[in-house]
Homo-oligomer: A and B are copies of this chain.
C-alpha cells in the first residue's frame, strides 16, 4: 500500500556557488530553514531546530539548492547543538570567504529547555 523507498542521504561538504554580481556593495543575504533535524549523539533520538545563515558575500554566493542538500545531510548524523552551529559556520565560511557571516541555531525544547547558539565569522561592516 505504501510507496517505500530506501533513503540514503550522505553527508555533503561541497556546495554549488555562483559569482557575486555586486562584489563592491556590502549587502546582506539571509537563508533560513525551520526544517533542520539531526540526531542527539547520546540518546540517538531526533533533534529539531531552525537554522539562520546571514552573510555579506565576497566574490561568490552559495547556490540555494546545494545549501538545502547540505543542511538536509545532517538528518541522520549524531551531533551536539554547539557543534552543529559552529560546523555550519566553518564549512560555509571556509568555502565562501564572506566579508562577514553569522550562523544562528534555535533548537526545539528538550527536557524543558530551549537552546540557541549564535556564532559569527569576521566583523560586520558599519558595526
Residue among B78, B82, B112 making CB contact with A5, cutoff 8 Å: B78
Quick check: is A95 within 8 A (CB to CB) of the other chain? no
- Identical chains in the assembly: 10
Instruction: Find the B residue at minimum CB distance from A51.
Output: B113
Interface size range of chain A in the complex: 35 or more
Quick check: is A29 within 8 A (CB to CB) of the other chain? yes
Those of A94-121 within 8 Å (CB) of chain B: 108-120
- Per-residue CB contact flags for chain A residues 34-58 toward chain B (1 = under 8 Å, else 0) read 1101010110111010000000000
Quick check: is A14 within 8 A (CB to CB) of the other chain? no
B68 and A113 form a contact (CB under 8 A): yes
A64 and B7 form a contact (CB under 8 A): no
Residue among B9, B71, B83, B113 making CB contact with A64, cutoff 8 Å: B113
Instruction: Find the B residue at minimum CB distance from A11.
Output: B4
A76 and B79 form a contact (CB under 8 A): no
Contacts of A117 in B (CB 8 A): 27-30
Residue among B4, B6, B22, B79 making CB contact with A86, cutoff 8 Å: B22
Residue among B1, B31, B41, B68 making CB contact with A21, cutoff 8 Å: B1
A78 and B2 form a contact (CB under 8 A): yes
